[in-house]
Chains A and B, each alone.
Chain A
Amino acid sequence: MKPPRFRYFAADSTAHAVELLGEYGDEAKLLAGGQSVVPLLNFRLVAPAVLIDINRITELDHVRVDGITTRVGALVRQRTIERDQELRRRGPMLTETVGLIGHVAIRNRGTVGGALAHADPAGEWPALGLLLGACFRIVGPRGRRTVPVDEFFRGFLTTAIEPDELLEEVELRLPSPGAGHAFVEVARRHGDFALVGVGAVVELDSRCRIAHIAIALIGVASTAVRAGDAERVLRGELPSTELVKSAAEAAAAGLDPVDDIHASGTYRRRIAGVLTRRALYTALARAGWERRDVA
């Protein structure tokens, strides 16, 4: 469990990192919090010739809340988000959900940009990206570009970021003040990657109809996924337990998760429905829905 030999560069600015990426491209890996790349190195599952350490780039370490838009620098630690008072006051969707990631030691090191760029299908951040309409600011030798979330996640551990590019910042649209949210998971142990997780954001209009709905699931496909069918069941409707149950069934119906040693695909699909229902109940309640027909 010792990594093979590699060259190490500590970039001191985004421009410096981009310059190094331009020079080494395919041969290089970025080192931020190291929560994924260091184990991969030690297991010798990756053997990059060059490691570019971006931990010293202070310009990537910022959280800017501006009305409904929040911009998070790629180097912001999970723990910083979790403890951000402004975000907590503004609506605790991010602070609560980030608390589900690993353990405190992992959140102290792990970065927002690293989690999004690694794109683990059971990671919480890709789902947050889907729920909050993320836009990704990417920089490389060919300049800057912005990629919307719909085009960002390309497959298992794969994103729109090219090997010679760097994720600089993610822009998120936080739920409006009256919205309700939830993020629920089943994991084998506290802090493990979720077997399945479901996040939901709901807004009700003045007549108590569902004006906005976003549901995202993790652990059920090669990337985090939006539950489009379930959202269509709900959008514009008056909430009810029957409606929530139909939406939960719709969310699970379209899934075909794979088996692994921790759970079968069948189990994952089953609890995807259960967790969707629970996430919706919590989010709806937080949005102001008074459930009268509790069994």
Chain B
Amino acid sequence: MATEVHVGRRMARKEDRPLVTGTGRFVADIRPVGTVDVAFGRSPVAHARIEAIGTEAATAMDGVVGVYTAPDIQGQVQPFTLFVDQEHTPPSLDQSIHPVIRPCDMDVLALTRVRYVGQPVVAIVAESRYLAEDAAELVDIDYEELPVLTDPEAAIAPGAPLLHEQVPGNVQASFDVDLGAVDAVFAEAEHTASFRFLVPRVAGSPIETRGVLAVHDPVQEELTVWSSTQTPYMVRTRIAEMLGLAEQQVRVIAPDVGGGFGPKVQVYPEEILVAHLSMRLGRPVCWIEDRNEHLVATGQSRDQVHTVEVAYRGDGTITGLRDRFLLDCGAFNPFSITCAYNTAAHLRGLYRVPAYRIRGECVLTNKTPNVPYRGAGRPEATFVMDRVVDVVARRLGLDPAEVIGRNLLTVAEMPCDRGMPYRDGAPIVYDCGDVPASFDRLLRQVGYAEHRSATREVQDGHVRRGIGFATYVEGTGKGPHEGARALLDSRGDIIVLAGCTPHGQSHETAFSQVAADALGVSPEQITFRAGDTALVPYGVGTFASRSAVTAGTAVAVAGGRLRQRILAVAGELLEAAPDDLEFQDSTVHVQGDVTSSVTLHQIAAAAAPGPAARLPAGMDHGMDESYYFVPPTVTFASGLMAAVVDVDTETGVIDVRKIVLVHDSGRLINPMVVEGQIHGGVAQGVGTALYERLVYDDTGQPLTTTFMDYLLPTSMEVPKVEQIHVETRSDRNPLGVKGVGEAGTISPPPAIVNAVVDALAPLSVEFSELPLTPEVVLDAVLAARSGRTGGQR
């Protein structure tokens, strides 16, 4: 192996130069000659039958290339069915949680019925987007409005109208988890409490909206699609299936992608339709989503309501928990139980909770479909659990830190079998480190002892300071697989290719470090590319905190194999044993004799088939190694967070002063990249805690369709984040790494809410809904001061 180790170094990002000099290339930057633009006519109503569509005026407009409705594409474009791995859950999962999953197909363009505002109904192709939007205003659609469901509890009530006839009770999917003697624990409980928690619907909000460009070559019978996606391989599979092509005829490229956060994991109707139209018209076809569209047409997330009971002892030990929750999945549910089961699998988090029963139901309503968003069910779980722990402590008059410590899993309990399967079917076995020790570090770092002994008033008697805690655990590095190739090009340069799809995760930097160590060269020598289905035959994509584990391992193994091949050929050329050789820059030489060397260029030439080939006996031609890593199951990252807040008790305004996080994502490939990932995650967690909520009125009209009404935190709202790294190496992959992409997002909501409760401690307020707005805080303060119960219970 290499003498210099690059994994673990704070190496500056290789990908920054084009991005900060304006030479990055996003979908909207690519415009082949002859490109035409699409605007979508989208449903303006939440639920209606389509009686008639008049497209004559739009079609006749100058500059319009074509206007397409569902009948125009029938038979040529198949509808969306559930993703295969959503429809077929692993047998061990079936036996354990008895999932019921109903098919719920989605047309690419609505044929007879629309089920949410923003659903695509008509596609207008024109010589410019301006003209396409002008023509969209001329399309005349007659909607016969139907009863609207916006509340999942109303949607499952007897007699509610059905959104899809084949889905009884509007419950698209459900499952049950039952662990331990739950009823007996509750029957014998010293104390019980019940709660209703609500986590609202939010938007992932990547800075780059979606966009698709498709070019069809009728001679080669090849379709090339550029899409701002996290999953080019899934886009390829879907386009091939739905348009009747072989996957080998479709190349999908995710060029520079300005963030994804989960919503870009879904394959969308627009991607299929733009591809279809490029084939149909014989012209490049482009669609760039605008922000207004994004807030209705791109998948939305969270949106869970939990009914929870907890059993606990007088010392704060939690003995049992029962939960039934609804996930409002909107009008279709492309990801089935993904987020809901993540919630159930992670809800107990780092706490012991020996008896546990949870039922999750995905309920159809007239809203935009629900998709995973950074954390994907875990922020909801953590909000429930860490609020429960805080309330238990406060109702008993105990210090929340003491109650947290009493319920945390200890190092003696690791690895900890949680008695239920993960979504991949394997048993959930935590491979976390010494969690209580991390909690002690957190308490010291945030100055908790000093805080407990100080007055909480920080200004004029109306600003009070509080500290709150939360935890997280996350299964990271989910399969099914990820691939990588390592090769020498014709000049002898080292090229590393992977099936992951970077969109802000610094893969070029981090995987250059991994490949450099595997090969024994410097990261600067590595050219890394990914996000293109032409590079590696099989791939998955980047989401679910998976790429460091899966692609990272594939890169390490493929890189190691290339090193062996290079040394073998070099040995043949130098007439030396491969073990006696070492790398120096772009050459390989005999140890201790730099004059006896060959260049990588010479090695590449010697490996190529032909008369000049010189290979060791029995070795095949070529200098191109591949590896597909199929992880046994996920590996568990974890962490503990403290939030420090100031609360203005006269206005309810919350100022998050600081977030402190002790996290353990295994071995760090590049600490600077990890810190950036966590900081960005915390920003989004602050958004969920205090600002973000997609609001629908009773008729299903979305009211938050601009960034003036949908409140993302800005740099002014995001606090300082102090991070302490703990590195408990994973034994489930050779690098020892765990995923970190979602880590920062999960814990801020309960940490911040618990901190506000702490700041207001003498008033005994409780909160159970997000976001925690100034109005909710002020109402709670006023209610508590007037002797009523403060807050939400």
Residues of A within 8 A of B (CB): 1-5, 39, 43-44, 186, 188-193, 195, 261-264, 267, 270-271, 274-275, 295
Contacts and interface: CB of A to CB of B under 8 A. Distances in A.
A188 B133 CA distance: 33
B713 A189 contact: yes
A2 B775 contact: no
A188 B713 CA distance: 10
B775 A264 contact: yes
A191 B782 CA distance: 27
Contact of A189 (B292, B691, B775): B691
B134 A190 contact: no
Interface of B: 129-130, 133-134, 137, 290-293, 461, 650-653, 691, 695, 703-704, 706, 708-709, 711, 713-714, 716-717, 773-775, 778-779, 782
A2 B650 CA distance: 43
Given A189-B711, A190-B714, A190-B717, A261 B695 contact: yes
A1 B714 contact: no
Contacts of B778: 267, 270-271
Contacts of A190: 714, 716-717
A192 B137 CA distance: 31
A1 B130 CA distance: 9
9 contacts: A2-B129, A4-B134, A4-B137, A43-B292, A186-B653, A261-B703, A264-B775, A267-B652, A295-B461
Contacts of B706: 39, 43
A241 to B, nearest CB: 13
In the A-B complex, list the 6 residue pairs whose CB atoms are closest, starting with the nearest. A190-B716, A1-B290, A267-B775, A2-B130, A274-B650, A2-B133
A1 B292 CA distance: 7
Nearest to B704: A261
Contacts of A195: 774
A186 B714 contact: no
A43 B779 CA distance: 35
Contacts of A192: 708, 711
Contacts of A295: 461
A267 B708 CA distance: 20
B749 to A, nearest CB: 17
Given A1-B290, A274-B651, A191 B775 contact: no
Contacts of A2: 129-130, 133
Contacts of B651: 186, 271, 274-275
A161 B730 CA distance: 70
Nearest to A278: B650
A186 B292 CA distance: 26
B691 A191 contact: no
Contacts of A191: 714, 716
A188 B775 contact: no
> In terms of DSSP, what is the predominant structure of the interface of chain A?
loop
Nearest to A39: B706
A1 B716 contact: no
A104 B773 CA distance: 26
A193 B706 CA distance: 14
Given A186-B651, A261-B709, 10 more contacts: A1-B290, A2-B129, A4-B133, A44-B133, A188-B711, A188-B773, A190-B716, A192-B708, A193-B708, A275-B651
Contacts of B653: 186
Given A1-B290, A4-B134, A189 B716 contact: yes
A39 B650 CA distance: 35
Contacts of B290: 1
A275 B292 CA distance: 34
Nearest to B134: A4
A195 B774 CA distance: 11
B712 to A, nearest CB: 8
Nearest to A1: B290
Contacts of B717: 189-190
A188 B709 CA distance: 10
A292 to B, nearest CB: 15
A34 to B, nearest CB: 15
A44 B461 CA distance: 48
Nearest to A268: B775
B716 A186 contact: no
Given A186-B651, A191-B716, A274-B651, A5 B775 contact: no
A261 B773 CA distance: 11
B775 A263 contact: yes
Contacts of A3: 130
Contacts of B779: 267
A188 B291 contact: no
Given A261-B703, A274-B650, A188 B691 contact: yes
B424 to A, nearest CB: 39
A295 B717 CA distance: 30
A2 B461 CA distance: 51
A1 B293 CA distance: 9
A36 to B, nearest CB: 11
A41 B159 CA distance: 44
Most B CB within 10 A of own CB, among A186, A191, A193, A295? A186
A39 B292 CA distance: 11
A190 B653 CA distance: 12
Contact of A186 (B130, B708, B713, B774): B774
Contacts of A267: 652, 774-775, 778-779
Given A267-B775, A270-B778, A274-B651, A189 B714 contact: yes
Contacts of A43: 292, 706
Contacts of A1: 290-293
A275 B650 CA distance: 9
A4 B318 CA distance: 61
A193 B137 CA distance: 31
Contacts of B773: 188, 263
B705 to A, nearest CB: 9
A107 to B, nearest CB: 15
A5 B714 contact: no
Contacts of B716: 189-191
Contacts of A193: 708
B497 to A, nearest CB: 37
Nearest to B289: A1
Contacts of B713: 189
A38 to B, nearest CB: 13
Contacts of B461: 295
A51 to B, nearest CB: 15
Nearest to B292: A1
A192 to B, nearest CB: 8
A65 B711 CA distance: 39
A186 B713 CA distance: 16
Most B CB within 10 A of own CB, among A44, A263, A264, A267? A267
Nearest to B133: A2
A270 B774 CA distance: 12
Nearest to A270: B778
B691 A5 contact: no
A275 B778 CA distance: 14
A207 B109 CA distance: 76
A260 B342 CA distance: 34
A4 B774 CA distance: 39
B709 A5 contact: no
A5 B711 contact: no
A3 B290 CA distance: 13
A167 B290 CA distance: 33
